Chain A
Amino acid sequence: MHTKVRVQTTINGEPQEFLCEPRQSLLECLRDLLGLTGTKEGCNDGNCGACTVLMDDRVVTSCLVLGVEAQGCQITTIEGIARGSELHPLQRSFLENAALQCGICTPGFIVAAKALLDQQPNPSEDEIRLWLANNLCRCTGYDKIIRAVKQAAEQMQEVNA
């Protein structure tokens, strides 16, 4: 008989426990078991970045992580990016710069960009483009996304200065 596995994690700062099949991806667990549907599926093979989440200190596509591998990990999803009732500077700058059209890739871009700004507060345009090359957007041509990330970086530095 097939047995599901109990997984204990921390998701967006809160302890979370869930029961999953080993074949279920972290993406499926987040969406179908935990109702965290902000993380999107675009390709299910790691090439579009729509399902990007943070897993401890790294940025991963959650479709290429098994739910069982999240045991003991800290996971951050798009639902955990805003600071309480206040939007994260990236979320604000995406809105102000019209950096989304359909919005399906937006959660992945914001999570990936947050990881970049956490480790490189003042990235160049080239660094932003390289970092975000694992996130596909088909609507915007990336122009406004790159500007939004730059603007958020500048605003975060002003606040920290």
Chain B
Amino acid sequence: MKWFDYAAPASLSEAVGLLTAHPGARLLAGGTDLLVQLRAGRKETDLVVDAKHIPELNAISYDAARGLTLGASVPCYRIYKDKNVTGAYPALAEVASLIGGTQIQGRASIGGNLCNAAPSADSVPLLIALHGTCRIAGPRGSREIAVEDFCTAPGRTVLQPGELLVSLHLPPPAPHSGARYLRFIPRNEMDIAVAGAGVEVVLENGRFRSARVALSSVAPTPLYVREAGEALAGSPVDEASIAAAAEIARKSAKPITDMRGTADYRSHLCAVLTRRALEAAVLRARGKN
């Protein structure tokens, strides 16, 4: 690993200033992706900017009317221990406990998972399903963007030079809603998703009022499958509707064959996982689990 300098700015403006002045700088949150990539030579930098001393990036705040604001560098273990998160967004708490193992969760953040922009990022399909938005700060002020628009290619995001992800925002959960992310991995922990499905459903009188489905590991970026949710909206909550949405998810997937599985296998998993996640989300929306 080549030499780099280290800075730990205490404010957002200071951080933006550093990132603007050093185009090669890298933001460090948990470091569980960045340090591995620097060590393997997949990334290089001359300055590492530690995000963990910037107040906005390290806060979790929840308000029943406005929803959840999650600082980009809040580590997973704080997320799944947070009573507001486990109460209002149980699926988010689950996803925070899926990323890596205990030690990784002591460092890794959901914001970092998103900024790393891996197609396999476990938290991103769920953030998409939950209508997540990103707050970005930069030299020209701040802007908001939907999570599904954040990643542009493997390892690439919409962040411009000098910009950083400040926080993620989730609206308050709708009544009779439920969400779930399920992934498939060969081991039971410490593994990269072969495929994953994050869903949210809102139920009304035995029908889906609305639904959102997103997939991991089956496209160059986490994939929002708008059509699957649209097909569910207004449909009865039954096996046939769920199977139809799962089939849309399968067809939308554009996986590659690699060490984690063949393209066919991954497409197949998209249907299985979407169905299972929708079934679990329906149970949750009905107050069972």
Contact = CB atoms under 8 A, between A and B. Distances in A.
A116 B52 CA distance: 25
Nearest to B7: A22
Given A64-B35, A68-B6, A46 B100 contact: yes
Interface in A21-76: 21-23, 25, 44-47, 49, 52, 55, 58-61, 63-66, 68-69, 71
Sorting the interface of chain A by its residue count into under 10, 10 to 19, 20 to 34 or 35 or more gives 20 to 34
Contacts of B5: 2-3, 22
Contacts of B30: 64
Nearest to A132: B102
Contact of A58 (B2, B3, B106): B106
Contacts of A22: 3-6, 48
Interface in B34-49: 35-36, 38-40, 48
A135 B104 CA distance: 11
B50 interface: yes
Interface in A79-107: none
Contacts of A69: 31, 50, 52
Sorting the interface of chain B by its residue count into under 10, 10 to 19, 20 to 34 or 35 or more gives 20 to 34
A46 B103 contact: yes
Contacts, number: 88
A131 B50 CA distance: 27
Contacts of B106: 55, 58-60
Given A22-B48, A47-B190, A61 B103 contact: yes
A133 B2 contact: no
Interface in A125-152: 130-135
Contacts of B50: 68-69
Contacts of B6: 5, 22, 66, 68
A66 B48 contact: yes
A43 B39 CA distance: 12
B189 A133 contact: yes
Interface centre among B6, B77, B104 (most CB of A within 10 A): B6
Contacts of B52: 69
B75 A133 contact: no
Nearest to B28: A66
A61 B104 contact: yes
Interface string B8-38: 1000000000000000000010111001101
B188 A23 contact: no
B154 interface: no
Given A5-B6, A44-B39, A133 B48 contact: no
Contacts of B40: 45
Given A23-B1, A133-B189, A134-B190, A49 B103 contact: yes
8 contacts: A3-B5, A25-B35, A49-B103, A58-B77, A61-B104, A64-B30, A64-B103, A134-B101
Given A22-B5, A23-B3, 6 more contacts: A46-B104, A59-B103, A61-B104, A133-B101, A134-B100, A134-B101
A-B complex: 10 closest residue pairs judged by Cβ atoms: A134-B101, A58-B106, A22-B6, A133-B189, A60-B106, A61-B103, A134-B103, A45-B36, A133-B101, A68-B6
